[in-house]
Amino acid sequence: MIIVVRDFPGFSDNPDMIRALTNILTCCGEGKHVLWMPSGKAEELINSGQFINYPLRVLHHVKEQSRFTKALAEKLRPYLEIDFEVADAFEHAGDGKMLVGYRKVIDTEALQSCKFLVENLSDSDFYKLGANSLLYRERLSSEYSIRLRSENGGGNTTFNVFERLTEAKELVLCILDSDKEHPSGALGDTASRFNQIGKGYGPGYQLEVLNCTEAENLVPFSVAGEVISRNNPESLDSFLRITPEFRDYADHKLGLKQEAALKLDEIHGVNYWERLISSRPPRNGEICPPLGNRFLSHSIEHMRLLSSAKLCESIDPILDAKLITVSNHVVSWGIGLKNSIR
């Protein structure tokens, strides 16, 4: 995550501030986050005589990279800003700014890489691949990588893990499957447990529920085609007729038949599937073929074999727009130096 330090009034007479700054410099130098401060402020710390050895080397790097890192800080949301006036601040201050008082970061444990909470670790693996492709697309992959610490929610216990992490004031990105079969349907058991939690940004966290059924619905079209042609070749022709809108709420594991989709419309009183079917009638009444429980794991295996360039090419900005949105969240929370400062 981008860490912003704008000023540190009276730091030289405050041992806790010096300790907090030392921890920030160390963790960012190790690649767990990316630090921006104005070059003049970095120079002030360099000349203060309070920092030696490794923190001092990191300061010189921060000063040299200040202009470029500022552009990143202005682009990525959320970011973490350290408050050196309100020592115990811990809030979302608006516009993606997570504000944390310096007393919180006196402990190095508080500045480890952010937590990435998902229902299954395979979801995390998949989203990180999407984020890596985005780093390559933005020409950032030579300098930066994704440094999140994945946390397995374990399905319906994900809410308990979220509560534990947020109560401990950990920095957490949480992305949940909606498990909806229809856009007007209810959230699944796991996501519905979060109904009392505001979606988007909160103090030290970001909570997102997919605008589709689950991670399988976000597998890039080109990757899905390659995986299906190898593992379910009999289903390829049917799958290639699917549009992004058809894919959003179609069960990729079990498949979806036209009759079942129209029944869902009837249950929810909204002609979502009927409208899509009339615009593009499915062949043999099959909206989405059954791709099996290993479709996501097979897709991850395929994506890992691709070069960064090929992986980036496989994600279409229009067809795979929802995956790119999720990837942006992961980049903002997980960006760190690819190689730690020596």
For residue 245, pLDDT over 90 is answered with no
* CB-neighbour burial class of residue 5 (10 A; exposed 0-12, middle 13-18, buried 19+): buried
pLDDT of residue 91: 97
Banded model confidence at residue 279, pLDDT cuts 50, 70, 90: confident
What mean pLDDT is predicted for residues 79-94?
97
pLDDT of residue 107: 87
65 in Cβ contact with 39 (< 8 Å): no
Banded model confidence at residue 242, pLDDT cuts 50, 70, 90: confident
Buried b (16+ CB within 10 A) or exposed e, 21-58: bbbbbbbbbbbbbbbbbbbebbebbeeeebbeebbeeb
Q: Which of 132, 142, 296 is nearest to 216 (CA)?
A: 296
Banded model confidence at residue 280, pLDDT cuts 50, 70, 90: confident
Buried b (16+ CB within 10 A) or exposed e, 296-307: bebbbebbeebe
* Contacts within 8 Å (CB) and 24+ apart, 85-93: 85/9, 87/16, 90/169, 90/203, 90/204, 91/203, 92/201, 92/202, 92/203, 92/204
Condensed to tens digits (0 to 9), the pLDDT of residues 163-206 reads: 999 999 999 999 999 999 999 999 999 999 999 999 999 999 99
Q: Dihedral (C-alpha) 233, 237, 240, 245: value to the nearest 10 degrees?
A: -110
Per-residue tokens: 231:
């593992």
Query: For residue 200, what are the β-bridge partners?
Result: 207
Condensed to tens digits (0 to 9), the pLDDT of residues 37-50 reads: 999 999 999 999 99
Query: For residue 175, what are the β-bridge partners?
Result: 208
For residue 240, pLDDT over 90 is answered with no
Which H or E run contains 117?
strand 115-118
Residue 213 has φ and ψ, to the nearest 5°, of -70, -55
> What average pLDDT is seen over the chain?
95
Count of CB atoms situated within 10 Å of the CB of 12: 13
34 in Cβ contact with 337 (< 8 Å): yes
* CB-neighbour burial class of residue 278 (10 A; exposed 0-12, middle 13-18, buried 19+): exposed
C-alpha separations of 38 from 8, 69, 98, 266, 314 in Å: 12, 10, 19, 59, 38
CA dist 20 and 26 (Å) reads 10
* CB-neighbour burial class of residue 71 (10 A; exposed 0-12, middle 13-18, buried 19+): exposed
Condensed to tens digits (0 to 9), the pLDDT of residues 218-229 reads: 999 999 999 999
Banded model confidence at residue 238, pLDDT cuts 50, 70, 90: confident
Q: Which of 197, 222, 221 is nearest to 208 (CA)?
A: 197
Mean pLDDT lowest for which of 59-73, 132-146, 280-294? Answer: 280-294
Condensed to tens digits (0 to 9), the pLDDT of residues 101-135 reads: 999 999 888 899 999 999 999 999 999 999 999 99
* Ordered alpha helix ranges (H), 100-157: 121-137
pLDDT of residue 241: 83
Rg (CA), the chain: 23
Residue 254 has φ and ψ, to the nearest 5°, of -95, -15
For residue 284, pLDDT over 90 is answered with no
pLDDT of residue 298: 97
